Chains A and B, each alone.
Chain A
Amino acid sequence: MARLALATLLAAALFAACAPAGAEELRPYTVVGDAIPQPLTGTKGDVVRGRTLIVERSSTCILCHSGPFPEQAFQGDLAPNLTGSGSRWSEGQLRLRLVDAAQLNAVTIMPSYYRVDGLTRVGASWRGKPILSAEQIEDILAYLVTLRN
């Protein structure tokens, strides 16, 4: 019994190592044109949580972007200001941009927030996980679409 359990465990570990890491955790989505029209989750994102998340260091957004975040002393200037994103782009367009911006611009420096394949030498603590969860992406999107000018 113990041997069997060990073998199963080993097999599971091997499988995890060989399968596209964590791929099964990602929810499927459909790209239509330059957008992902359908939410990644069943429930709507939360604007307040999205605002909180976007300025958190761990989400990495304002390392590169600036935006309407007057209380944030340190914002990046590697990328467009996020003010007005909701006027320039539809929710679906913004969703694809967050999920996998490389599908829109192969040489972009904007990371793909909901992708685990095609990456090189990902550190052990991040391996097999997307940068943001589906829920976090929907929260950020709920906030981004409110940025109208």
Chain B
Amino acid sequence: MRIAACIALLTAVASTALAAEIPQAERRSGYSFMSPDTKAMQDEDTANPGMLFVLDGEALWQRKAGTANKACADCHSDARISMKGVAAHYPAFEKALGKPVDLEARINLCRTNHQQASPFAYESHELLALTAYVAQQSRGMPIATGDDPKLAPFVEKGHALFMQRQGQLNLGCTNCHDDSWDKKLAGSAITQGQPTGYPLYRLEWQSLGSLQRRLRACITGIRAQAYDYGKPELVELELYLMTRARGMPVETPAVRP
């Protein structure tokens, strides 16, 4: 018992000592760890496969849907103006639900409440395309998630999840993304796990994918039970990651290896 308590104490002390948040000046996007070829793919819109999704998203923005027979554009007009900077503040607190929602969930709330249409499935082409189109309107703008004080308890929960060791490999996100981001896991750069580019085109997926998809991959990687899409824990992790990335520019649609 005594030994167990000692170990617990030591672990607590050590983890607070190690887990200093990455200072503003040292925050680095996954982009900066990539090869010149992959960087070029992200930089040039004509080479960036994510742009095809953005174009589809633009078309969906204009398309009438649901029993309300309304398009996103009927309420929000020109996304280039109305959606500018929006993604840089997500996840945001949703009063009606009393909890934060990410951009995908916000789009689906508009579908059900305002268009009276069925929500898009997670990772469906439509939801990824619309999310990428909305987020692209914030490209280059600094991430500013977390200003709303009502978010504070949820940021704290996300932070706790980020620190917690879990899974058969008994690792926490912090072990890799705070303590080891200058290192390599087998062949891959570990990176700081910054959420700046989502949804993004991952060469390994051969598709656009959401931040939740990436988080589920890391959780499965440590052999823990992945949360289902849309679960509060994933949104809280997204929220914490976005506050951890404050000040970094939005890159959507980014490209990653």
Contact = CB atoms under 8 A, between A and B. Distances in A.
A122 B223 CA distance: 6
A123 interface: yes
A77 B165 CA distance: 20
Contacts, number: 78
A65 to B, nearest CB: 10
Given A107-B15, A124-B225, A78 B166 contact: no
A84 B249 CA distance: 45
Nearest to A129: B168
B170 interface: yes
A27 to B, nearest CB: 19
Given A111-B169, A120-B164, A121-B166, A77 B184 contact: yes
Residue among B11, B187, B188, B220 with the highest chain A CB neighbour number at 10 A? B187
Interface residues of B, number: 29
A133 interface: no
Given A106-B14, A107-B10, A76 B171 contact: no
Interface stretch (A44-52, A56-64, A137-145): A56-64
Nearest to A128: B168
Contacts of B169: 60, 111, 131
Interface in B164-219: 164-171, 175, 179-180, 183-188, 190
Contact of B167 (A57, A64, A119): A119
B11 A75 contact: no
Residue among B170, B184, B187 with the highest chain A CB neighbour number at 10 A? B170
B204 to A, nearest CB: 14
Interface string A74-102: 11111000000000000000000000001
State which size class the interface on A falls in: 20 to 34
Nearest to A103: B7
25 contacts: A63-B186, A73-B187, A74-B186, A74-B188, A75-B186, A75-B187, A76-B183, A76-B184, A76-B185, A77-B183, A102-B170, A106-B7, A106-B11, A107-B11, A119-B167, A120-B164, A120-B167, A121-B224, A122-B223, A123-B168, A123-B220, A123-B224, A123-B225, A123-B226, A126-B168
Interface of B: 7, 10-11, 14-15, 18, 164-171, 175, 179-180, 183-188, 190, 220, 223-226
